[in-house]
Amino acid sequence: MSNNTFRRSGGSFFLQKSASMELPSSSPPQPMATSTQHVPNKLFSFEFPSSPQPSDHPEEIFHFSHQQHPLAKVLLPELFTCAGCKEYGAGKRFACQKCDFQLHDFCAFSPPSLKTHPLHGQHQLHFHSKPKQGGILWVKCDICEKSVKGFTFRCSACSFQMHPCCAMLSTQVSFPVHPHSLKLLPPMALSSGSGNDHPGFVCGECKRKRSGRVYRCTVCDYHLHAVCAKNMMNGLQANGIKVAPEKPSMLGAAARVASLVFVEFIGGLFEGIGESVGQVLVQDIGRGRCVSRRRRIE
């Protein structure tokens, strides 16, 4: 790994902050079960498609986002909110035994950069612990179309960004929910709607249509949303947890309406100013002509 991000000391594992990692702001604690079960390393094996990670994850780590306490590797069936990416998870995690801080395993071991990732191979992606500022609205992940509120991989050459969980996906995947391999479809923008909805299909998991990237079976007509595929990676599907899809924010809708009203108001204001200035100019020109005529007569 670059930038000496990972460092061993005794029986613990230290994850240091690299140049692209800003320390995230404190988030409200999430409830956690009091009893924890330590898990063998083989259950914590994972790797990002473009940056293989060490398979022998330690039992305990010190993470830059929670420097006051160590984080232990545990397995719990309950739902939790990751303090890093701010998204749901279940099962495998690194949890603080003294407070309610918890991280996905892939968030805990997110590398400083992803080179030639299959979902964005044209540019290198850098890890950031804070989302990109997008005004009063949260910016969206380019893979699942959900809001980015915490840890993210972001491209410095363009506007592409995605959650660490989305970075675990690839262009072709296989899941236990379907017997055939699934291939990621290219982004589609419908002229009759917004987002990347794909017409004429229903997701095989959530049984609905929605925005975001989509996987299609290479053999049959099965489709799977990328956001539903994430549930195969974050432990929700394995632990039988179904989470309601992210609903459009009332604040976001109000902000969009307010921005339109503001733009129309400013446009009307400038239009009115333009008309007033035009009238003044016409009057000045007219007065100038009258004065010049009087001087000629005199």
Domain boundaries, the chain: 2-108, 171-241
pLDDT at 106 over 70: yes
The rounded percent of the chain whose pLDDT value lies above 90 is 49
Closest CA to 214 of 228, 201, 224: 224
Q: Which region among 47-51, 157-161, 270-274 has the lowest average model confidence (pLDDT)?
A: 270-274
Q: Which residue has the tokens 């990109």?
A: 132
d(CA 265, CA 270): 9
pLDDT at 113 over 50: yes
Question: Which band of pLDDT confidence, cut at 50, 70 and 90, is reported for residue 30?
Answer: very low
pLDDT at 183 over 70: yes
pLDDT at 102 over 50: yes
Maximal CA-CA distance, the chain: 107
pLDDT at 199 over 60: no
